[in-house]
């Protein structure tokens, strides 16, 4: 495998960079860089901008509107977006549901839902986890009973990321109590505006509202919203998770974070010298940089080996563990790098247009919040312990 970009790839990189410089507004990029709250409109606007150039669904097959990029091109694109501080593409529709619909959905579902993901008509959220079903997802109990042309759904989902913005939720529901728990699960698309759905906020430890509980009471869902076959949802669910995990690895985020960390370390002074010159700090930073470079190549290796445009299988567990460990280590180093200025907590500074006094250097404000918030990445998408169980079983055969 050739690790140097070809002339074509370099030209592509320049094209992406140039496009970003023309289409990503400085205000939006400032928000992302400074960890300020992004509104629903910010995300929708950015999705629309990407879509106007055919770049939103960049891993979709060409016939559904993808640009036909290679794995390397997708990697370049992700990296450039992160380095330019573009908002994160909210993955639930475009990167999680879409691959499932493309592989397992019927024609009517593909023609109806895929364009709506592209044009932003729908904001999807993920209804997998329940209070009693986290790591043991297959034990889920949210029930869907067939009643004529409808399923009637009763139960609860939780940890639903950005459910407060969503108009659609894809849910794993129990349609049968027979056999192994995995055998009675179905994959259902539910309109959040259906009567009987209630969304309640959950606040995370650093104060943000990004997850929710979703309650279902006699919610009627048309049967045409079943994806694939009844009781076969577990297969689709697992397929989706490989996409989710590959996405969480977030090599691009780490590249951006590493760059920021280096800038901070140069700027921070410690007793007459820059933090970058502190041997203990420099060693830890260098270690993280080496780990990241290795993981970046692992990612490229694994993603290029996977079927064209697809996500890797059990190898996605590898990418998720390493990717999240590196992201969390970089968060840790950023936190350490700002010293005592990690402590100030000014909630208003999270909003765009805040013009109160800066407490310490301007880059310090979001750092502790981000550090605590990103403890989630080793928990969700299947915890890192569960990924290790998958590696033991599926890759090592233990």
Partner 1 sequence: MLADTLGRYILQDYPLDARLTAGASDIGYAPEKWIELAELGVIGALFSEDDGGFGGAGFDLAVVFEAIGRGLICEPFLESAVLAGGALAVAGSAAQKARLEDVISGQSVGALAHFEADDGCDVRFVSARAVAKGDGWVLSGLKAVVRHAGAADFLIVSSRTDGQAGDEDGISLFLVASDAAGLEIVDYQTIDGGRAAEVVLRDLTVGADALIGVAGQGAAVLQHVLGRGLLALSAEALGLMDVIKDMTIEFIQTRQQFGVPIGKFQALQHRMAEMLLEIEQARSAVINAAASVDMPGVARERALSAAKFTIGQIGTLVAEESIQLHGGIGMTWEHSLGHFAKRLVMIGHELGDEDYHLSRYIRLGQEAQNV
Ligand X SMILES: Cc1cc2nc3c(=O)[nH]c(=O)nc-3n(C[C@H](O)[C@H](O)[C@H](O)COP(=O)(O)OP(=O)(O)OC[C@H]3O[C@@H](n4cnc5c(N)ncnc54)[C@H](O)[C@@H]3O)c2cc1C
- What residues act catalytically? 244
- Nearer of residues 39 and 139 to partner 1, judged by Cβ: 139
- Single out the segment in contact with partner 1 by CB under 8 A; choices: 26-34, 53-61, 63-71, 382-390: 382-390
Cβ atoms of 342 and 309 closer than 8 Å: no
37 binds partner 1 (CB under 8 A): no
Q: Binding residue for partner 1 (CB under 8 A) from 64, 112, 270, 301? A: 270
Cα(157)–Cα(163) distance, rounded to whole angstroms? 11
Cβ atoms of 129 and 255 closer than 8 Å: no
Cβ atoms of 130 and 143 closer than 8 Å: no
391 binds ligand X (CB under 6 A): no
Give the per-residue contact string, 357-386, with ligand X (x = CB under 6 A; - = no).
Answer: -------------------x--xx-xx-xx
Task: Name the minimum Å distance from CB 339 to ligand X.
Answer: 27
351 binds partner 1 (CB under 8 A): no
- Smallest Cα–Cα separation from 128: which of 253, 245, 222, 246? 245
Q: Binding residue for partner 1 (CB under 8 A) from 32, 384, 387, 390? A: 384
243 binds, among partner 1, ligand X, none (CB under 5 to 8 A by kind): none
Q: Binding residue for ligand X (CB under 6 A) from 43, 95, 160, 324? A: 160
Give the per-residue contact string, 120-139, with ligand X (x = CB under 6 A; - = no).
Answer: ------xxxx----xx----
- Single out the segment in contact with partner 1 by CB under 8 A; choices: 49-57, 163-171, 220-228, 337-345: 337-345
- Nearer of residues 151 and 281 to partner 1, judged by Cβ: 281
203 binds partner 1 (CB under 8 A): yes
| DSSP track, 262-281 | HHHHHH-EETTEEGGG-HHH
Cα(184)–Cα(313) distance, rounded to whole angstroms? 23
39 binds, among ligand X, partner 1, none (CB under 5 to 8 A by kind): none
Q: What are phi and psi of 207, to 5 degrees?
A: 100, -10
167 binds ligand X (CB under 6 A): no
177 binds partner 1 (CB under 8 A): no
Return the structure tokens found at 1.
């495998």
Cα 234 to Cα 132, 191, 209, 354, distances in angstroms: 17, 21, 29, 46
Site for partner 1 in 237-256 (CB under 8 A): none
383 binds partner 1 (CB under 8 A): yes
- Nearer of residues 61 and 181 to ligand X, judged by Cβ: 181
Which residues, 6 or more positions from 23, have their beta carbon under 8 angstroms from its beta carbon?
49, 53
215 binds partner 1 (CB under 8 A): no
Task: Name the minimum Å distance from CB 164 to ligand X.
Answer: 12
Cα(295)–Cα(328) distance, rounded to whole angstroms? 14
Nearest residue (beta carbon) to ligand X: 134
**What's the angle, vertex CA 229, arms to CA 225 and CA 235, rounded to 5?**
105
**What's the angle, vertex CA 385, arms to CA 382 and CA 387, rounded to 5?**
55
Long-range contacts made by residues 272-277, C-beta under 8 angstroms, separation at least 24?
275/337
Cα(48)–Cα(139) distance, rounded to whole angstroms? 38
376 binds partner 1 (CB under 8 A): yes
Residues that bind partner 1 (CB under 8 A): 129, 132, 134-136, 139, 158-159, 202-207, 269-272, 278, 280-281, 328, 332, 335-336, 339-347, 357, 359-360, 368-369, 371-372, 375-376, 378-380, 383-385, 388-389
């Amino acid at each position: 495998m050739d690790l140097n970009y070809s002339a074509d790839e370099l030209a592509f990189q320049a094209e992406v960079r140039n496009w970003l410089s023309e289409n990503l507004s400085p205000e939006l990029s400032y928000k992302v860089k400074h960890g300020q709250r992004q509104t629903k409109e910010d995300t929708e606007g950015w999705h629309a901008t990407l879509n106007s150039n055919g770049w939103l669904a960049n891993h979709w097959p060409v016939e559904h509107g993808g640009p036909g990029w290679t794995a390397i091109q997708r990697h370049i694109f992700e990296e450039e977006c992160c380095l330019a501080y573009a908002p994160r593409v909210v993955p639930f529709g475009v990167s999680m549901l879409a691959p499932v619909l493309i592989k397992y959905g019927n024609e009517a579902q593909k023609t109806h839902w895929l364009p709506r993901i592209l044009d932003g008509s729908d904001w999807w959220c993920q209804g997998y986890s329940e209070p009693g079903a986290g790591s043991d997802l297959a034990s889920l109990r949210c029930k869907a009973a067939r009643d004529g042309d409808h399923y009637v759904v009763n139960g609860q989902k939780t940890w639903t990321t950005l459910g407060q913005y969503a108009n659609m939720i894809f849910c794993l529901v129990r349609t049968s109590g027979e056999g192994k728990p995995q055998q009675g699960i179905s994959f259902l698309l539910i309109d959040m505006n259906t009567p009987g759905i209630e969304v309640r906020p959950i606040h995370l430890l650093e104060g943000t509202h990004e997850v929710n509980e979703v309650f279902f009471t006699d919610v009627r869902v048309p049967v045409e919203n079943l994806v694939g076959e009844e009781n076969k949802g577990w297969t689709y669910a697992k397929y989706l998770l490989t996409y989710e995990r590959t996405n969480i690895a977030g090599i691009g985020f780490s590249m951006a974070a590493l760059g920021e960390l280096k800038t901070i370390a140069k700027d921070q002074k410690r007793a007459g010298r820059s933090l970058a010159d502190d041997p203990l700090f420099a060693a830890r930073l260098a270690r993280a940089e080496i780990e990241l470079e290795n993981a970046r190549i692992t990612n490229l290796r694994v993603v290029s080996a996977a079927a064209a445009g697809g996500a890797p299988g059990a190898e996605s567990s590898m990418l998720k563990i390493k990717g999240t460990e590196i992201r969390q280590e970089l968060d840790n180093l950023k936190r350490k790098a700002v010293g005592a200025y990690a402590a100030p907590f000014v909630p208003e500074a999270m909003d765009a247009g805040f013009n109160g006094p800066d407490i310490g250097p301007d880059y310090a404000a979001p750092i502790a919040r981000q550090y605590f918030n990103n403890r989630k990445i080793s928990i969700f998408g299947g915890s890192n312990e569960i990924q290790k169980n998958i590696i033991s079983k599926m890759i090592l055969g233990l």
